[in-house]
Amino acid sequence: MQHFSILDLAPVAEGETLADAFRHSAELAQHAERLGFHRFWLAEHHNMPGVASAATALAIQHVAQATRTIRVGAGGIMLPNHAPYMVAEQFGTLATLFPGRIDLGLGRAPGTDMATARALRRHLNQDESSFPNDVVELLTYLSDMPETAPVRAFPGLGTHVPVWILGSSLYGAQLAAYLGLPYAFASHFAPAALAEALDTYRSTFRPSQWLDHPHCMVAVGVCAAETDEEAQFLRSSQILTFARLRSGRPGKFPPPVDAATLAAEVPPPMMAQVAQALSCSAVGSPQTVHDQLSRINARYRPDEIIVAGMIHDHAARLKSAEIAAGALRDL
């Protein structure tokens, strides 16, 4: 695997604070840098007690300041929540402070519930064409605009921050292909359309000033430990979190529980939903994770893999990243 990366939500574990979450994200990024990960992306979510990366540009600055060489970016910014001009200024500032290290992934989902989306946007009357138009507008602000342009972004102008389209359906694949941009698929929580989306992106890609051939990234959930049993135990935290979120009960990231406790809280129909949503994953010992990542890589042939893996215990999360790096280097 030429490049492999980490997707982080700055998770807030039960018993810990927002400050702990930011400190742990910086430590994870430093660890990832030493292990050879290429990118460290943070994602925009709102009104979630267990996610600290809501102000994503600020979280990126915090992580970039704590590291030296790893690329840091958004996976992603939910563009409908923001004016493209303001995003250009924010990421132009980051690119100026940390030259050659900043990425900007763009999504069109709200990253939250509809009530919070209204609080973010004040109104939700955008038509279907607003997202691609906003992407093009943002790309323009980051480009070499002429001095005669009536609106230019300072910072932002001429920074050429790499822009990715994110998605979990065919829409993002089609847009990324049409604009000639790199594409990242959110298969770590919505894998159903992964194969079709990648095929659509690759078969309809149009070369552009930003990219001359298709470049796709696949997100994979990873929870690695010394044994399969330990990894399955650690992953119960993520299963609980996902089930509670699907049930309208978001909260801080819970500690792991045994199989009986997990089954008692998550009924079989919900467990089936969670299992499907998290099916693009590698969970287990170093050998198990290597084998599972190898199968995913062989099936989808991504240019990059980005791993997502929230674990309640910070030391265990660092160990999981270490095991993942070893497996990914061998692909």
The pLDDT value recorded for residue 116 is 64
How far lies 295's CA from each of 280, 281, 289, in Å? 10, 11, 10
CA–CA distance, 202 with 3 (Å, rounded to integer):
19
Q: What is the CA radius of gyration of the chain?
A: 19
CB atoms within 10 A of CB 156: 26
Q: Are 286 and 323 in contact (CB under 8 A)?
A: yes
d(C-alpha 210, C-alpha 136), whole Å:
12
CA dist 148 and 144 (Å) reads 12
Residue 313 DSSP one-character state? S
- Please give the Cα distance from 291 to 279 (Å, whole number): 15
Q: What is the pLDDT of residue 109?
A: 79
Secondary structure (DSSP) of 99-125: TT-EEEEEE-S-SS-HHHHHHHHS---
**pLDDT for the residue numbered 20:** 98
Task: Report DSSP state, residue 278.
Answer: T
Tokens of 177: 């292909």
pLDDT of residue 126: 59
Report pLDDT for 125. 60
pLDDT in the model for residue 124: 57
What does the alpha-carbon distance between residue 162 and residue 148 come to, in Å, rounded to a whole number?
24
Q: What is the pLDDT of residue 163?
A: 98
pLDDT of residue 55: 97
Per-residue pLDDT, 115: 72
Q: Where are the beta strands (DSSP E) in the chain?
A: 3-8, 39-42, 71-78, 102-107, 163-167, 183-185, 216-224, 281-284, 304-308
CATH code: domain 3-329 is: 3.20.20.30
How confident is the model at residue 2, as a pLDDT?
A: 82
C-beta of residue 176 within 8 angstroms of C-beta of residue 213: no
Cα 43 from Cα 255, distance rounded (Å): 22
Q: Could you give the CA distance from residue 147 to residue 137 in angstroms, rounded to a whole number?
A: 17
Per-residue pLDDT of the chain in tens (331 residues, 90 and over written 9): 689 999 999 999 999 999 999 999 999 999 999 999 999 999 999 999 999 999 999 999 999 999 999 999 999 999 999 999 999 999 999 999 999 999 999 999 765 666 766 766 656 565 556 899 999 999 999 999 999 999 999 999 999 999 999 999 999 999 999 999 999 999 999 999 999 999 999 999 999 999 999 999 999 999 999 999 999 999 999 999 999 999 989 999 999 999 999 999 999 999 999 999 999 999 999 999 999 999 999 999 999 999 999 999 999 999 999 999 999 999 9
